[in-house]
């Protein structure tokens, strides 16, 4: 039989009542897999677990949120032999899983994954730290990692709105930056910076209508709303238009992006829903295609070139 390992974060998102894990074993056995389930207990456990797996493992399933998937990808990239990974969303937002066409039914999602295909995917980096789908900076973005766990367990995605309401009177931060794209240098002031390889960000679907996950490129979006009123108008446009069509957003598609903050940012980057800190004003972004993801068939034509 083939070998599958499920790395499961039991604390992801809103509490799900899983009274038995037998159905996981039964479904995977029907697809020819002998399965082990390994539970994470602390941050970075998933990264360590995949690093220690036997190279003969055929499939590693990330059962958790986007942060858990980030840890598994990070650990996988440190292996000599990369393993094939599949996302099984169990978090609060699950941007990656939703992008691939998965829903809230864990067992239905598992079946979709097992019926799917292994595809080569791009992995982006910020200063040599990998991220799966987004690295971003700006106000309110810290909701992804600062919202208390007890709120997420009780309310799911609504928890972010509850926590974010506390920041409604805060003034927007603005960043003076110097950046380089495709060998050309620019300067400007921006309050929001997004570097992504995804059609879905922060629960918002179709941010980009035609993003590809295997084109060895990523998307850069820079915006500078001056106040809350301008920010709300911009969000309304993002809800109805492709980001590339919005005049207030500076957009690039590239495979190399460098940015330097003329003043050190007062807020942290967020990568894949987790806080990222590094004591520097300079960041280099790149993309590599070095691993495979097992994904449902539903959105393959939409999300992949090959």
d(CA 3, CA 32): 8
Residue 13's Cβ-count burial label (10 Å; 0-12, 13-18, 19+) is buried
Q: Count Cβ atoms below 10 Å from residue 172 Cβ, excluding itself.
A: 16
Does 163 score more than 70 pLDDT? Answer: no
CATH code that applies to domain 2-122+290-303: 3.40.50.10330
Instruction: Taking residues 22-33, report their average pLDDT.
Output: 96
Does 251 score more than 90 pLDDT? Answer: yes
Instruction: Taking residues 107-119, report their average pLDDT.
Output: 96
Q: In whole numbers, what is the pLDDT of the chain averaged over residues?
A: 90
- Written as six digits, the tokens of 85 are 């990974």
- Tell me what pLDDT residue 122 has: 97
125, β-bridge pairs? 130, 286
Does 117 score more than 90 pLDDT? Answer: yes
Does 183 score more than 70 pLDDT? Answer: yes
CATH code that applies to domain 129-289: 2.60.200.40
pLDDT band per the 50, 70, 90 thresholds, residue 50? very high
pLDDT band per the 50, 70, 90 thresholds, residue 140? confident
pLDDT in tens, 190-204: 999 999 999 999 888
- Which region among 15-24, 84-93, 248-257 has the lowest average model confidence (pLDDT)? 15-24
- Tell me what pLDDT residue 81 has: 96
- Written as six digits, the tokens of 8 are 């499961």
- Tell me what pLDDT residue 146 has: 66
Cβ 278 vs Cβ 97: under 8 Å = no
- Tell me what pLDDT residue 195 has: 97
Query: Are domains 2-122+290-303 and 129-289 of this chain identical in fold?
Result: no
pLDDT band per the 50, 70, 90 thresholds, residue 104? confident
- Tell me what pLDDT residue 64 has: 93
Residue 253: in which H helix or E strand, if any? strand 249-254
Domain ranges of the chain: 2-122+290-303, 129-289
pLDDT in tens, 211-249: 999 999 999 999 999 988 899 899 899 989 999 999 999
């Amino acid at each position: 039989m083939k070998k599958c390992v499920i790395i499961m974060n039991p604390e992801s998102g809103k509490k799900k009542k899983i009274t038995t894990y037998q159905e996981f074993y039964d479904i995977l056995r029907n697809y020819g897999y002998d399965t082990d389930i390994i539970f994470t207990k602390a941050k970075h456990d998933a990264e360590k677990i995949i690093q220690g797996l036997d190279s003969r493992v055929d499939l590693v399933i990330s059962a958790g949120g986007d942060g858990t998937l980030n840890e598994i990808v990070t650990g996988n990239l440190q292996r000599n032999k990369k393993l094939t990974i599949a996302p099984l969303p169990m978090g609060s937002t699950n941007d990656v899983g939703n992008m691939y066409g998965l829903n809230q039914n864990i067992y239905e999602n598992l079946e979709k994954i097992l019926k799917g295909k292994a595809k080569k995917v791009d992995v982006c980096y910020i200063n040599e730290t990998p991220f799966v789908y987004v690295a971003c900076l700006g106000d309110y973005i810290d909701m992804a990692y600062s919202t208390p766990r007890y709120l997420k367990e009780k309310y799911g995605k609504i928890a972010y709105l509850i926590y974010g309401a506390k920041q409604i009177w805060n003034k927007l931060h603005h960043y003076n930056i110097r950046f380089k794209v495709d060998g050309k240098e620019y300067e400007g002031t921006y309050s929001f910076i997004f570097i992504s390889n995804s059609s879905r960000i922060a629960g918002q679907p179709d941010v980009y209508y035609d993003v590809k996950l295997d084109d060895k490129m990523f998307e850069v979006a820079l915006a500078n709303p001056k106040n809350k009123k301008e920010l709300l108008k911009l969000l309304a446009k993002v809800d109805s238009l492709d980001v590339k069509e919005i005049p207030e957003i500076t957009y690039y598609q590239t495979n190399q992006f460098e940015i330097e903050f003329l003043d050190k940012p007062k807020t942290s980057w967020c990568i894949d829903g987790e806080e990222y800190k590094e004591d520097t004003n300079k960041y280099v972004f790149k993309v590599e295609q070095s691993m495979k993801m097992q994904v449902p068939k539903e959105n393959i034509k939409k999300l992949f070139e090959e």
